[in-house]
Amino acid sequence: MATTAEQMRTFKGLSVLSGGFRPFYIAAAAWSAVMVPLWIWIYSGAGAGVLRIDVSWHAHEMLFGYLGGIIAGFLLTAVPNWTGRLPVTGGRLALLFGLWAFGRVAMLFVDWNELLAALLDSGFFCVFAAVIWREILTGRNWRNLPIAFMVTLLAAANIAFHLGETQVTIRLALGIVLTLVSLIGGRIIPSFTTNWLKKAGMTKISTSFNRLDLIVLVATAGSLLGWSLFPNSVWIGGGLLGSGCLNFWRLSRWRGAATLKEPLVWILHVGYAWLAIGLVLLGMAALGQSASSLVVVPIQAGIHALTAGAIGVMSLAVMTRSSLGHT
């Protein structure tokens, strides 16, 4: 059977619709380049009154907007490789991308018609989740059912956001995405690292996914779920701190320092390092709620280490690698 890249090369329509990564990566990157300066302009007060957007819009568009596009581009490219099925291309891809794009415009002007914005924005995630479920179930790719499940959780969190549960759903969405980083990163980072180390003639290779990785993954997901529901709990803070340390240990087993000659590999290690750093900072911020705490870390330090650091670096690394691999 032809690989996803080979199937994309034989596509006869518009090249931008030959694979999910093409429209989604380009548009999501462009949207982030517009959205961040726009938010700074509004937040500084210079653009006050021009658009009725607040910090919840900023958080939503980073997680469900920008990152939603990146996740769509990645999974629409990766899932065909996992299942052996044809990729979503052409008109079907255009319709899915259109839902995402119109959702971004609607969210920018959400105060004009909140219901329309909610329908367009939520509609994208619901349709996208349905596509992923169809591909994985039809391809009998049971190993990746957890990924389909987490995409569904993201869709549900997005709906809850529009129903008014903004703060808890933003934290929940961040936890889901970081769990995805831990799950997918735990597969691809040691795999790509091992391939490069073997190519470089090194005999000591990266450790592949095993039961210890599963323990770290469960600890990470559990502590993030706890933080989503009880963000100021000292006990949850301790769990986050422990999860961060476990992820540092996990990262050390992948031999990232040996890949410094290959930017496409070591950047993945840098992105995962930010996950561990962010968990530690977030844990310290929660522990700082205790009156006996000697170290006070702002919660935004942890959140932005996880978002701009882990999610930002990992998304750039994955975009670069998957684009090169399928072009």
* pLDDT digit string (tens) for the chain, length 327 residues: 555 555 555 656 788 888 899 999 999 999 999 999 999 988 887 776 777 788 999 999 999 999 999 999 999 999 999 999 999 999 999 999 999 999 999 999 988 889 999 999 999 999 999 999 999 999 999 999 999 999 999 999 999 999 988 889 999 999 999 999 999 999 999 999 999 988 888 877 767 778 899 999 999 999 999 999 999 899 999 999 999 999 999 999 998 889 999 999 999 999 999 999 999 999 999 888 765 556 678 899 999 999 999 999 999 999 999 888 877
Q: Residue 225 falls within a domain, yes or no? A: yes
Q: Are 196 and 256 in contact (CB under 8 A)?
A: no
58 contacts: CB under 8 Å, gap ≥ 6: 35, 39, 43
301 lies in the same domain as 256:
yes
38 lies in the same domain as 110:
yes
Task: Spell out a b/e string for 154-167, using b for 16 or more CB atoms within 10 Å of the CB, else e.
Answer: bbbbbbbbbeeebe
Q: Residue 4 falls within a domain, yes or no? A: no
19 lies in the same domain as 158:
yes
CA atoms within 13 A on the CB side of 224: 29
Q: For the chain, list the strands marked E by DSSP.
A: none
139 lies in the same domain as 228:
no
Instruction: Report pLDDT for 184.
Output: 94
Say what the alpha-carbon torsion angle 300, 305, 306, 310 is, to the nearest 10 degrees: 160
Number of domains in the chain: 2
247 lies in the same domain as 292:
yes
Q: How far apart (Å, rounded) are the C-alpha atoms in residues 88 and 84? A: 12
pTM (2 d.p.): 0.91
Q: Residue 7 falls within a domain, yes or no? A: no
Q: Residue 172 falls within a domain, yes or no? A: no
Secondary structure of residue 12 in the 3-state scheme: coil
Q: Are 206 and 193 in contact (CB under 8 A)?
A: yes
Domain boundary among 164, 198, 219: 164
40 lies in the same domain as 83:
yes
34 lies in the same domain as 77:
yes
65 lies in the same domain as 187:
no
Q: Are 168 and 224 in contact (CB under 8 A)?
A: no
Instruction: Report pLDDT for 12.
Output: 67
DSSP 295-320: ----HHHHHHIIIIIIIHHHHHHHHH
Query: Element (H or E) spanning 321, and its range?
Result: helix 312-325
Rounded to whole angstroms, what are the CA distances from 35 to 48, 81, 193, 241? 15, 32, 34, 31
Q: Residue 6 falls within a domain, yes or no? A: no
Residues of the domain holding 108: 13-164
Q: Residue 5 falls within a domain, yes or no? A: no
201 lies in the same domain as 154:
no
